Chains A and B, each alone.
Chain A
Amino acid sequence: AQSVAQPEDQVNVAEGNPLTVKCTYSVSGNPYLFWYVQYPNRGLQFLLKYITGDNLVKGSYGFEAEFNKSQTSFHLKKPSALVSDSALYFCAVRDSSYNTDKLIFGTGTRLQVFP
């Protein structure tokens, strides 16, 4: 079965420090991986995706993610956190069992950046 896991419900980091939000996946075939962010009372916003190519993917708002095939991980990173980065983050993988664009989402990780 295809799945995505976000092992941390919450991540706390001080402003200016680097941050990492973890994601691991399980799919058959080559994975299409995504990160989304959700601010309070808003819909999800697309941050970045990995389909093929360079294992380090750069996205919006200074975020990047590293694809690691051997560890089946796709961790979200940012070199220097901002208080405004505080939000709910979702990792997702495309469901490869159908010829659609269906995504399987993780349960989300709440990022709290303290001043």
Chain B
Amino acid sequence: DAGITQSPRHKVTETGTPVTLRCHQTENHRYMYWYRQDPGHGLRLIHYSYGVKDTDKGEVSDGYSVSRSKTEDFLLTLESATSSQTSVYFCAISESGGEQYFGPGTRLTVT
């Protein structure tokens, strides 16, 4: 998976608790992305980063925040998890003009 790891791979949490997902790359790519995948919706962009400490919102950013303090790490935080955030979350990386490479995904269940 192109030098991208995600942790944890599976998580079950309760409504109202904070959750942080981690994406780590060894490719030194500039851009990093967080997506969620839900049936019937394909992949939807949550947040993305175009450099260390440079981030911006995607199409479904409400309820999520991100941080990127190092090139290799991109964190996604659910401040107060809700059942609607039950999903599979994918991290991706790219260089300018190139294709994106995806991590293995994190399956999150909010009960």
Interface residues of A (CB under 8 A from B): 32, 34, 36, 41-46, 49, 51, 90, 100-103, 105-108
A45 to B104, CA, bound (A): 10
CB-based nearest A residue for B97: A101
Are A107 and B42 in contact, CB atoms less than 8 angstroms apart? yes
Stretch at the interface among B13-21, B43-51, B71-79: B43-51
Are A90 and B90 in contact, CB atoms less than 8 angstroms apart? no
A2 to B48, CA, bound (A): 18
Are A106 and B42 in contact, CB atoms less than 8 angstroms apart? yes
Residue in contact with B100 in the complex, picked from A46, A51, A106, CB distance below 8 Å: A46
CB-based nearest A residue for B104: A43
Are B90 and A44 in contact, CB atoms less than 8 angstroms apart? yes
Q: What are 29 A-B pairs at a CB distance below 8 A?
A: A34-B100, A36-B102, A41-B105, A42-B105, A43-B1, A43-B4, A43-B103, A43-B104, A43-B105, A44-B43, A44-B92, A46-B100, A46-B101, A90-B43, A100-B31, A100-B56, A101-B31, A101-B94, A101-B95, A102-B33, A102-B45, A102-B58, A103-B45, A103-B100, A105-B42, A106-B42, A107-B40, A107-B42, A108-B42
